[in-house]
Amino acid sequence: MRTIAVTGSASGIGAATRLRLQAAGDRVIGIDVRDAEVIADLGDPSEVGRRQMAIAAVRQLAGDRLDGLVVCAGVGPHVEPWSTIVSLNYFGAQLLLAGLRELLAVAQPSAAVAVSSNSTTLPGVDTPLVSACLAGAEGEARRLAVTLDGHRSYAGSKLALARWIRRSAPAAEWAGAGIRLNAVAAGAVRTPLLQGGLEHPVFGDAIRSFPIPTGGFGAPDDIAAAIVFLLSREASFCCGSIFFVDGGTDALIRPDVY
C-alpha cells in the first residue's frame, strides 16, 4: 500500500484524486483548510510557519516514507487580493514539494505531481512576476501581483510552477534520487473554483468563451485520472513532463508549437 499526500484534497481535483487513489488501495494524507488529515492554509505568507507545520505533520503521519505527493491546492483569477493567488498557487505548492522531497527519496521510486494550467501558454503572462516566484521572492511576487490583474497573476503563478518543475525534475536531487516530478496543465474543469470564476462579473464571460474542441468543461476526475497515471509505474519514463489535459484548447491555440 502506497502513502500519498494530496494538497487541496477536500474539493475539486484534489478530492477526485483522493477518491481514485483510495479506490486503488492507497493511503491518502489530505492537506486542506478543512476536512483533511492536515489542516493548513498554504497560501497565507504571514503563516509561513504553518507551511512548515504542514510539512512536519505529513512527515509524522507518513512515518519513514512517502510514495507520492500531489499539489492541487490553488485559487483562480477571480480571487482577491491577487497576491493570494501567487502565495498559494506557486509558493504553497513549491515549498511543499521541496519540503517533502527527502521523504519521497526514501521511498524511491516515487513520484510527485503538480497541477499547473493551460493558461500558461497565453500571450502576456510571462511577466516579472514569474521571475520573482522562481527567485523565491514571495514579497516581491505579491507586490507585482497587485500591479497586474487576476488573469496574469494566476497564469503567471502557474507558469512559474511549470518552469520550476521543468528545471527541477532532471536534477540529481529529484530524478537522480529516484523521484519523478511532473505536472498536469489542466484546462477549464467543473469545480467550485471554476464556478466562482463563472459567477464573476469580469471573468465569467471570458471563461465561457474559452474554446474547448471536445465540447465543454472537463470534470475533476478527468484531471485526477492523469494525475494518478503520472503517479503510477506506467509513467516511469515521464520526467519533467507538462501533460496538457484541457479538451484540446492548447492544441487549437498553438497547433504548430511542436
Is 90 considered catalytic here? no
CA dihedral 211, 214, 217, 222 (to 10 degrees): -130
Which position among 82, 90, 91, 154 bears the catalytic label?
154
Q: In sequence order, what are the residues at sequence separation of 6 or more whose Cβ sits closer than 8 angstroms to the Cβ of residue 71?
A: 7, 8, 92, 93, 96, 97, 112, 113, 114, 115
Supply angle C-alpha 232, 235, 239, rounded to 5: 120
* 116 phi-psi bin (left φ>0, alpha ψ -120 to 50, beta other): beta
User: Which cell numbers in the block locate residue 204?
Assistant: 465569467
Q: What is the distance between the alpha carbons of residues 251 and 257, in angstroms, rounded to a whole number?
A: 9
User: DSSP state, 35?
Assistant: S
Instruction: Give the residue numbers annotated as catalytic, written as ranges.
Output: 154
